[in-house]
């Protein structure tokens, strides 16, 4: 076989010499030398001959079929890389920390336990079942964990806990620190789901702002001096925490008794604190009738781009909605019909605002949706009364969730006029409002964000 191959090689060589010209075309040698002088040498790792031994592919020894072996080797490498990329692409992806996401479970507290349920009310499961009072669940932005508060009995310290979304690995993140007497205790997650901000204390004297790692490390108070800080909300980029502030020791019932009342931002390390909402009473007085307390307290709402903060402002009974630029360059009131507008919150994409209009009695409210420019105002569920509790959007922006007046159900109402899919999640046992005020816990719920 080898002798036949040699004979074929000699015959081909003789034929090529006979058919080829006597000399190279003019200038060919100079052109080749110039081109090769400018060509970068290929690195050794890019030469296919050096891959074959590493991946265990034998190099063919046939003289005229060797290119087939190289093609097989290269194809094998390409297929290996493609398989790896497909494997990585098939892994679950975490949702972005802000903006629209797929809607998952709804978490709420019922009977002193943390419960999760599908949006249609099916597959209800208790994630906690201890004798302690566990409340105010809050899903992390990545949807994998839940923060919640617990205390054994009235007068005993309250602790912040974190567990996985399936209820596994519950752990105390605030330890032995005494947080009894707390009135506003829903924690705010950082966008990377690694830290929590929360406020503790008495609205009528002082509330203190804290930050702690979700693993229980780094607990520290943020800010100091004469300012009370409550209702924190983390900026989309994680660099700032917005909160409502007022002067420690000043009763905020009389408007505007305290010129310090307003919306502020501060860094998680306590630096860069400044007032953002400068209109009188910006953020609302921190009490039930004005804006706050166990039932009606809510944090300022960040726009998804992190440039603006939405909040209520004005005297008790006559609040309006305002949007302020975080850099202090502007602040404007959203023009709406006269009412007592509270608890505003941006939709996940920032194109709409949900809020409540509180009745004169203060024990019921109506939910509205409007564009940030004040256009497109309409009432959800035909103006059906709801409890004056904080609202929350579905992660995909299709629904606004509210509590029934008797706190026995959560209503999921389409946020668009022509939206469909309204649902009711029954709470059993129902929340007892008197018990909430006695224990100092607010009724809160949270909707899990999932990757698309």
pLDDT tens profile 73-91: 566 655 655 555 454 444 4
What gap in Å lies between CA 310 and CA 303, rounded to an integer?
Answer: 8
Identify which of 141, 39, 52, 32 has the alpha carbon closest to the alpha carbon of residue 97.
Answer: 141
Can you spell out the DSSP letters for 7-28?
Answer: HHHHHHHHHHHHHS-SSPPTTH
Collapse the DSSP code of 383 into the 3-class scheme (helix H, G, I; strand E, B; otherwise coil) and give the result: helix
Q: Which H or E element spans position 33?
A: helix 28-37
Q: How confident is the model at residue 255 (pLDDT cuts 50, 70, 90)?
A: low
pLDDT tens profile 170-186: 999 998 776 765 545 67
Can you give the length of the chain in residues? 452
Identify which of 41, 79, 73 has the alpha carbon closest to the alpha carbon of residue 57.
Answer: 73
In this structure, the strands spanning 206-213 and 171-172 are: unpaired
Residue 169 has pLDDT above 70, yes or no: yes
Task: Give the global pTM.
Answer: 0.77
Q: How confident is the model at residue 45 (pLDDT cuts 50, 70, 90)?
A: very low
Residue 279 has pLDDT above 80, yes or no: no
Identify which of 122, 87, 91, 129 has the alpha carbon closest to the alpha carbon of residue 106.
Answer: 122
**Structure tokens belonging to residue 21:** 């010209």
Spatial contact of 109 and 443, defined as CB atoms under 8 Å apart: yes
Which residues, other chains included, contact 31 with Cβ-Cβ below 8 Å and sequence gap of 6+? none
Count of C-beta atoms within a 10 Å radius of residue 351: 12
**Across the beta sheet with 159-164, what order do the strands follow?**
133-139, 145-151, 159-164, 171-172
Q: What average pLDDT score do residues 241-253 get?
A: 79
Residue 295 has pLDDT above 80, yes or no: no
Q: CA neighbours within 13 Å on the CB side: how many for 450?
A: 10
- For tokens 């224990």, the residue is 439
**Structure tokens belonging to residue 144:** 């994998």
Residue 159's DSSP bridge partners are 150
Q: What average pLDDT score do residues 332-347 get?
A: 93
What gap in Å lies between CA 197 and CA 187, rounded to an integer?
Answer: 6
Domains of the chain: 2-89 (no CATH), 102-450 (2.120.10.30)
Residue 250 has pLDDT above 80, yes or no: no
Produce one character per residue of 303-326: b if its CB has 16 or more CB atoms within 10 Å, e if not.
bbebebbbbbbbbbeebbbbbbeb
Residue 432 has pLDDT above 50, yes or no: no
Spatial contact of 245 and 260, defined as CB atoms under 8 Å apart: yes
What gap in Å lies between CA 326 and CA 331, rounded to an integer?
Answer: 9
Residue 36 has pLDDT above 70, yes or no: no
3-state secondary structure 258-317: CCCCEEEEECCCCCCCEECCCCCCCCCCCCCCCCCHHHHCCCCEECCCCCEEEEEECCCC
In this structure, the strands spanning 378-379 and 392-393 are: unpaired
In this structure, the strands spanning 227-234 and 220-222 are: unpaired
Spatial contact of 283 and 214, defined as CB atoms under 8 Å apart: no
What percent of the chain has pLDDT above 90?
42
Q: How confident is the model at residue 452 (pLDDT cuts 50, 70, 90)?
A: confident
């Amino acid at each position: 076989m080898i002798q036949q191959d040699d004979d074929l090689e000699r015959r081909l060589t003789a034929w090529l010499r006979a058919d080829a010209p006597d000399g190279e075309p003019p200038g060919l040698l100079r052109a080749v030398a110039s081109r090769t002088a400018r060509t970068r040498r290929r690195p050794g790792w890019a030469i296919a001959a050096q891959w074959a031994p590493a991946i265990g592919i034998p190099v063919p020894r046939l003289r005229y079929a060797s290119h087939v072996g190289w093609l097989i080797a290269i194809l094998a490498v390409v297929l290996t890389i493609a398989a790896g990329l497909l494997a990585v692409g098939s892994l679950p992806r975490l949702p972005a920390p802000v903006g629209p996401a797929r809607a998952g479970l709804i978490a709420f507290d019922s009977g002193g336990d943390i419960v999760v349920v599908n949006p249609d009310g099916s597959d209800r499961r208790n994630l906690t079942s201890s004798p302690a009072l566990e409340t105010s669940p809050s899903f992390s932005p990545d949807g994998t964990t839940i923060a919640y508060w617990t205390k054994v009995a009235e007068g005993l310290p309250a602790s912040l806990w974190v567990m996985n979304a399936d209820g596994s690995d519950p752990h105390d993140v605030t330890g032995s620190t005494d947080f009894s007497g707390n009135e506003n205790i829903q924690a705010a997650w950082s966008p990377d789901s690694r830290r929590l901000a929360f406020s503790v204390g008495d609205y009528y004297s002082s509330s203190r702002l804290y930050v702690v790692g979700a693993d229980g490390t780094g607990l520290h108070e943020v800010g100091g001096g004469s300012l009370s800080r409550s209702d924190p909300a983390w900026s989309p980029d994680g660099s700032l925490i917005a909160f409502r502030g007022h002067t420690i020791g000043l009763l905020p019932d009389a408007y505007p008794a305290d010129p310090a009342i307003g919306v502020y931002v501060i860094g998680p390390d306590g630096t860069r604190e400044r007032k953002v909402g400068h209109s009188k009473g910006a953020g609302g007085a921190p009490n039930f009738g004005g804006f706050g307390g166990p039932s009606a307290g809510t944090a300022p709402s960040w726009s998804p781009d992190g440039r603006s903060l939405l909040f209520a402002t004005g005297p008790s009974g006559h609040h309006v909605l305002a949007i302020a630029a975080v850099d202090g360059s502007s602040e404007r009131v959203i023009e709406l019909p006269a009412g007592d507008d509270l608890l505003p919150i941006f939709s996940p994409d920032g194109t709409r605002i949900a809020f409540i209009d509180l009745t004169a009695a203060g024990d019921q409210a109506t939910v509205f949706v409007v564009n940030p420019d004040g256009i497109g105002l309409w009432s959800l569920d035909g103006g059906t009364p709801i409890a004056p509790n904080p609202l929350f959007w579905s992660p995909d922006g299709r629904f606004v969730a509210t509590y029934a007046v008797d706190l026995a159900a959560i209503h999921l109402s389409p946020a668009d006029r022509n939206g469909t899919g309204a649902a009711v999640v029954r709470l059993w046992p129902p929340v007892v409002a008197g018990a909430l005020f006695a224990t100092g816990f607010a009724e809160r719920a949270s909707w899990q964000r999932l990757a698309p």
